[in-house]
Amino acid sequence: MRMVDIIASKRNGNELTDEEISFFVNGYTKGEIPDYQVSALMMAIYFRGMNERETLTLTNVMADSGDKLDLSAIKGIKVDKHSTGGVGDKTSIALTPIVAACGVPIAKMSGRGLGHTGGTIDKLESFNGFNVSIPTETFIKNVNDIGISLMGQTADLAPADKKLYALRDVTATVENMSLIASSIMSKKLAAGADAIVLDVKTGSGAFMKTLEDSKALAEEMVTIGKGAGRKMVAVISDMDQPLGRKVGNALEVIEAIDTLRGKGPEDFTLLVRTLATYMIMLGGKASSEDEALRMIDDAIESGKALDKLAEFVKAQGGDPSQVYDTSLLKIADKKKVITAEKSGYISRIVCDSVGVSCMMLGGGRASKEDVIDLSVGIELLKKVGSKVNAGDELAYVYYNDEKNLDAALEKLKGSYEYSEIAPEPQKLIKEVIK
């Protein structure tokens, strides 16, 4: 088999065989096929596309290219959740304790964030001493003992995807639905869950800007997951403005804890309840949405979900007292106030600009080597649809370093747009694909 023949076949619009896909993925991962040939193939796939069988094969081959997490020692149906990412997306921190408190085992691999804020791991490290570098044996034991554990993604998890994504990133071949879906799902399949709930974001702060593209990606990933024998649900949720009211690592942890107390912001609470509903149903603990919602309400009102988060934090070396008293979490001492520049209704908050503002304060990474300041961030006092007068307080900015402060404040101010009439309310949950 020759790589040049595979490139020519896809260039001409043919389907690649399972053997051809396996040949190029494994050969490239081992360093036996050069970048320039795989670049040519990626461009051919970008223009010619892949069908359902090709996409599933690509996903499975990438998932099999390195370590796969064996979760068979964990009792029950293991359910994972994946978000395509957004500004203020602290969902896992509130979601997973609720689901675990309802009896569904949560064995989750997470990564660190690259961009406007940290990933789930970075956020959880706001708890003093919290540690994700735990052996697999401890990870599995914690899930069996308390129902929840989280560990960092290993370097050998789907290494083919890591190499292929780096190449696609510099050859303008990222935006292909099959390549995006297989990239995400290869890591999810390698992580070993029996069922997966996807939170696919749509809007200005999302990777997919239009509902049409978000739906296509969600459907592609659900198809891949089912083809690989997993139970799947995808929720398409709005990311045209930041989720919740707090952006920044420790601030987001506080908002997640507020939600576990039943006092979270309306949009964030709705998303957590929606995702938890499908995770509990896929986990076999509820037979209907109404039953799952009753279980969620009980987990929150009884305090079981909050206690579950404290157990989880303690089991991984963190300080559980910070779960019960969030004033013990470190928030930057210095604060600036952003005010409305005109009267009217807030018609838009440019999501990406809020995220970039947080990153400029030190709350995110521009490169993998950057160190995040977990204590900085932004608290939004007004959101889209709010009526304001000129001079009203719009947001608080928590900071330590003044180096990029002025630029961050200007970026944040510029993210607000105003109108004389109230904007049409936007649905948070756009669609559910089962």
11 is known as an active-site residue = no
Ordered strands of the 79-83 beta sheet: 79-83, 195-202, 231-238, 429-433
80, 89, 122, 161: which one is catalytic? 161
78, 81, 162, 168: which one is catalytic? 168
Residues paired with 288 in a beta bridge: none
Ordered strands of the 387-388 beta sheet: 387-388, 344-349, 416-419
* Per-residue H/E/C for 265-316: CHHHHHHHHHHHHHHHHHCCCCCCHHHHHHHHHHHHHCCHHHHHHHHHHHHC
| CA dist., res. 237 & res. 408, Å (int) | 27
78, 81, 82, 411: which one is catalytic? 82
10, 90, 116, 187: which one is catalytic? 187
Q: Is 367 exposed, middle or buried (0-12, 13-18, 19+ CB in 10 A)?
A: exposed
78 is known as an active-site residue = no
65, 178, 183, 237: which one is catalytic? 183
168 is known as an active-site residue = yes
> 302 CB contacts (<8 Å, ≥6 apart)?
none
116 is known as an active-site residue = no
Q: Read off the amino acid at residue 416.
A: Y
179: left (phi over 0), alpha (psi -120 to 50) or beta: alpha
Catalytic residues: 82, 161, 168, 183, 187
